[in-house]
Structure 1
Amino acid sequence: MPVLEFELDRDHVELNQLLKLTGVCDSGGAGKALVASGEVLVDGVTELRKTCKIRAGQTVRLEDVTIRVIDPSH
């Protein structure tokens, strides 16, 4: 299971954009479709809000990929 670390350089990133920025999907639109499908978990809970604000310390899972959002200053 691949684990990706995403360094957050601002207060938050929208979930669909996080999926795009980490290369899990090709576009923000594809990210929205993945979220709408109910396949994306945020901190272990299914997340259906496409623009959910993801902050440092949270974990996003999609199939066998885990994305850990980290604060680069720590």
Structure 2
Amino acid sequence: MNDIETIEVSGTIRLGQFLKLAGLAESGAQARDVIAEGDVEVDGSIETRRGRQLHGGEVVTVHSESEELRVRVAVAE
């Protein structure tokens, strides 16, 4: 398993937006699809709500056929 990359955000951010910002999805449509398919976890639990608010400290995991990508949400100060 890879080290967890940290992506800074200013304040809260929706899960779909975070996936795009972190480079885990190329577009909003792709983010919507990967979330709807149950391939996204937030802190180890499958998350199907694209609008889930992330406040900082969460670990977002995206599962694909070939790999598992993990990114930590950090609030910029």
| TM-score scaled by length of structure 1 | 0.87
TM-superposed CA distance for 1:2, in Å, is 5.2
Which residue of the partner structure matches residue 5 of structure 2? Answer: 4
CA root-mean-square deviation: 1.2
Structure 2: where are the runs of 5+ without partners? none
Which residue of the partner structure matches residue 71 of structure 1? Answer: 75
Which residue of the partner structure matches residue 35 of structure 2? Answer: 35
Count of matched residue pairs: 72
1:20-70 CA distances to partner (integer Å, 9 max, x unpaired)?
011111111110111000010001000010111111111110121111011
Q: Helix, strand or coil for the counterpart of 1:49?
A: coil
TM-superposed CA distance for 1:71, in Å, is 2.3
Q: Helix, strand or coil for the counterpart of 1:31?
A: helix
**Percent of residue pairs bearing the same amino acid type:** 29
* Whole-angstrom CA distance in 1 between matches of 2:4 and 2:29: 23
